[in-house]
């Protein structure tokens, strides 16, 4: 559910500010890693 909720948000950044989109995607990946580790 989270990924689909973030799609519209991220698509806007991908078009207007690719560097910020990359930073946000990295943060999301880190949060997913922490979640899988139970943190």
Residues 1-39: tens digit of each pLDDT? 467 778 888 888 888 888 998 998 899 899 989 999 997
Q: How far apart are CA 37 and CA 6, in angstroms?
A: 22
CA angle 18, 11, 32 (to 5 degrees): 85
What confidence score (pLDDT) does residue 39 get? 79
Q: Residue 25: CA atoms inside 13 Å, Cβ hemisphere, count?
A: 13
pLDDT at 12: 85
pLDDT of residue 1: 46
Please say whether the beta carbons of 25 and 6 come within 8 A.
Answer: no
Cα 32 to Cα 36: distance, rounded to the nearest angstrom: 6
């Amino acid at each position: 559910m989270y990924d689909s909720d973030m799609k519209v948000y991220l698509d806007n950044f991908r078009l207007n500010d690719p560097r910020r989109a990359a930073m946000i995607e990295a943060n999301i990946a880190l949060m997913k890693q922490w979640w899988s580790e139970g943190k």
